[in-house]
Homo-oligomer: A and B are copies of this chain.
Amino acid sequence: MASPEIDTLTQALSRLPGLGPRSARRAVLHLVKRRETALDPLLRALEAVAEKLATCSICGNVDTTDPCGICSDTRRDSRSICVVEEVADLWALDRSRLFPGRFHVLGGRLSALDGVRPEDLTIDALLRRIEAGGIDEIVLAMNATLEGQTTSHYIAERIEAFPVRVTQLAHGLPVGGELDYLDEGTLAQALRARRPVA
């Protein structure tokens, strides 16, 4: 019954993560009832992003500038690079403000199952960044999955020849994690990596 334009907008919104058909309809209603305060600002915001959207030619981040805001931020430590699987991981780590260096987005993880080989990831670009010099540390921040760890080991081996420190995120109990709710893999890893009490 709704107009084709409104239907199309509802469908486009319902494909966003976290918005089903029902909440998309509520969002559309919200937008059409608030043209000046909701619809027009969202439209302008989307236009601005769409106009400038770029993949950073250095790190693979998605941003509205190339190089991205992180790569061009001179206050950041250019001597350490945190390697992540996806842009989502970069954004999550960046949001935490815990890592003061720069990033490198692989664009995925090695996977025999999905047929993802080293040349499908940006590993060569990472090696070129290291070769160019000025890098002290590579932090491997792959997911704690089998494929993530395979990727991590593969990259660590490829970097071995370079005079950089290679580290990876610690695995173990998540903060607030209760032992009896954790999977065996996490428990095993936490036990293996146990440290003397300070």
Identify the A interface with B (CB < 8 A).
1-6, 8-9, 11-13, 15-19, 23, 25-33, 35, 38-43, 45-50, 52-53, 62-65, 69-70, 87-88, 91, 94-95, 97
Q: Which residue of B lies closest to A4 (CB)?
A: B64
With A16-B31, A18-B19: A8-B48 Cβ-Cβ less than 8 Å:
yes
Q: In the bound complex, how far is the Cα of B23 from the Cα of A91, in angstroms?
A: 13
Cβ–Cβ contact A5 & B43, under 8 A: no
The smallest C-beta distance from A66 to any residue of chain B, in angstroms, reads 11
The smallest C-beta distance from A195 to any residue of chain B, in angstroms, reads 32
The smallest C-beta distance from A30 to any residue of chain B, in angstroms, reads 5
Cβ–Cβ contact A69 & B18, under 8 A: no
Cβ–Cβ contact A38 & B52, under 8 A: no
Q: Which residue of B3, B25, B42, B46 contacts A64 across the interface (Cβ within 8 Å)?
A: B3
Cβ–Cβ contact B41 & A12, under 8 A: yes
Neighbouring B residues of A26 by C-beta, 8 Å: 17-18, 88
Cβ–Cβ contact B42 & A13, under 8 A: yes
Q: Which residue of B11, B17, B64 contacts A6 across the interface (Cβ within 8 Å)?
A: B64
Neighbouring B residues of A9 by C-beta, 8 Å: 42, 45-46, 48-49
**5 nearest A-B pairs in the assembled complex, by CB-CB distance:** A18-B23, A9-B45, A3-B64, A12-B42, A16-B27
Neighbouring B residues of A94 by C-beta, 8 Å: 1-2
Neighbouring B residues of A5 by C-beta, 8 Å: 45, 48-49, 52, 64
Instruction: List 28 A–B pairs whose Cβ atoms lie within 8 Å, in order of A's numbering.
Output: A1-B70, A1-B94, A1-B95, A2-B69, A3-B65, A3-B69, A5-B45, A6-B49, A9-B48, A12-B42, A16-B30, A17-B26, A18-B18, A18-B27, A19-B27, A28-B49, A29-B87, A32-B49, A32-B53, A32-B62, A32-B87, A33-B62, A33-B87, A35-B50, A39-B53, A40-B50, A42-B46, A43-B46
